[in-house]
Amino acid sequence: MKIAIGNDHRGVAFKHRLIQLLGQLGHTTVDYGAHDETSCDYPIFAFRVGEAVSSKECDFGLLICGTGLGMCIAANKVPGVRAIPGHDPVTTELGRRHNDANVLCISSELTGEELMERMVQVFLTTEFEGGRHARRVKQICDYEAARLRPTD
């Protein structure tokens, strides 16, 4: 799979570890994140990853910031993105199974390296269940599509 990865200044170290892990798992990564710890604005990176996933340039996205929450809010502004904050493997799995999440947002400050790696593996290997969940995801997508404003 091709994975878009982005981070702000607080996620640089985790990003490098994730790129290494993803390579070991046979995935390709596209790095849309900050490259050093100079303070920067996370929405820029969330939008870049969101657009790569929404356009299908990448299969999934991973975002890393201090809490994972700001990235999640920003990424969900991109049409077609269903970003979830990763708290643990169970919520990550349910986000994929029930919500067809396509972007996982991770806290660099509240998540240890082992937990982060486990959540990413769960995220990338869990299939969307479909069924009643597909109907609900479609309702979300339909709502989003009905409210998109054409750009000038």
Q: How far is Cα of residue 7 from the mean position of the Cα atoms in its chain? A: 10
DSSP strand E in 8-100: where? 28-31, 60-65, 83-85
Q: Answer yes or no: 65 catalytic.
A: yes
Q: How far apart are CA 129 and CA 37, in angstroms?
A: 39
Q: Which of 65, 87, 105, 133 is catalytic?
A: 65
**What residues contact 91, with CB distance under 8 A and at least 6 apart?**
84
Q: How far apart are CA 1 and CA 35, in angstroms?
A: 23
Q: Answer yes or no: 40 catalytic.
A: no
For residue 58, the surrounding DSSP H or E stretch is none
Q: Which residue has the tokens 């890393």?
A: 64
Q: Which of 98, 105, 133, 141 is catalytic?
A: 98
Catalytic (active-site) positions = 65, 98
